[in-house]
Structure 1
């Protein structure tokens, strides 16, 4: 949870709702942060996470799952156990490691557990360029993505928001196909919570029955609109306005 309301589960709730889905928010990590950086973080009790997941699954159909900052490795284990019993639910995993300001949101044990256990259950992981290099253990994006695919990831969406150029290029790497590239206008500047918003929007598209490619297209356009109407909430990065009417 981001108390500034810019990223994390608040971003997920707003994006999923704007795209016509009903969110079922399970809180995995509490943070001390503002629009500038993260200063502290603590994981939710893994058993509470387990109880929430089981309670929800017994009451309502779940059409997609999106993960963000998971808190610690024990939470990963809980989620993997749940996914093993629900293998048909598409998982979009945003491997949140660092805040834009540089604050840590994952230690080495959590990162290793995500790589060893969680990512193989994900239909798609959505690392930015910094996360991709760290997780894929290579500065070359293509080789880093290939390393993750070889380790069991089904697909890797390497997001291009940290790059340069007129367009943002998000590249989807597959197990057996050539990479797919998705282009969207680059507005410029850094915004708080864009990665969360993109991954949550993709999950909403998949929950609505869109293909992975169509879900990425819809998510990119939604994020672009939110950035164009960004709010100056604090002294740091502007916050995308995720409450704008999606198809007005």
Structure 2
């Protein structure tokens, strides 16, 4: 199940999630949390879906279909978080992968302070993995040091933090998986160079697909990283901004 926002450019958001999850052999159940005015350059406006409609969609789907993992992206507002948390409380055994979307790559806001605080206080404690980039990690964890910021988030209740390194420099991207009582696990991935629209969405959705397929968290992350790298290598020039990963390419594990 996906709870995410609509990017009309098709580069990020719920379309990216649907494409990635489908490519990795799962069936997506998409629930739209917000609408955005967005292109490959930036986000210019956003409005949340009526929380009661979201509630009804979650209940309707859960009564009809087995749900093997849940992925969240941009959530619209704090009221949508409350609806989602109510649902999660009744389904505590479903792995939750949370991409804490706060800002677009161009700087446009996708979360206000109320939404950020509600995610930290109520949603993150249900998450098996949250997947912040370096900007989101510093903001959410209250520290520019990645390890300390991740520790702060772990102390707030989430099970693990995958700090993604796509905004860094060097020949490799280093994604670091932090747990409460273990040393971090570092994943090293080739850096293609440049910025791509929707990579964070694609990574989190791909991890959720792996968990839904029965892979462990670490195996799901490894598979997701390989899939994202392949999609970036075949990125599409859709608009005037960032290229879009080609999530429709044939995938072989």
Q: TM-score, length-normalised on structure 2?
A: 0.97
Which of 213, 217, 220 in structure 1 is aligned with 2:218? 213
1:176, 1:9 → 2: CA distance?
A: 33
Equivalent residue, structure 2, for 1:49: 54
Q: Are 2:199 and 1:188 equivalent residues in the alignment? A: no
Q: What displacement does 1:151 show?
A: 1.0
Pick the aligned partner of 2:102 from 93, 97, 105. Answer: 97
3-state SS of 1:170 partner:
strand
SS of aligned partner of 1:200: helix
- Residue matched to 2:180: 175
Moved over 3 A (4+): none
How many matched pairs? 248
Q: Supply the distance in 2 between the matched residues of 1:32 and 1:115 (Cα, whole angstroms).
A: 26
> 1:32 and 2:42 equivalent?
no
1:64 aligns with 2:80: no
What is the rounded CA distance, in whole Å, between the counterparts of 2:182 and 2:53 in structure 1? 40
SS at 1:243 equivalent: coil
Give the TM-score of the pair, scaled to structure 1. 0.99
Is 2:233 the counterpart of 1:228?
yes
Among residues 134, 138, 145, which one is paired with 1:129 in the alignment? 134
Cα shift at 1:185: 0.4
The whole-number CA distance in structure 2 between the counterparts of 1:54 and 1:175 is 32
Structure 2, unmatched stretches of 5+, are 1-5
The corresponding residue for 2:11 is 6
* 1:39-87 deviations in Å (ceiling 9; x for gaps): 0000000000000000000001000000000000000000000000000
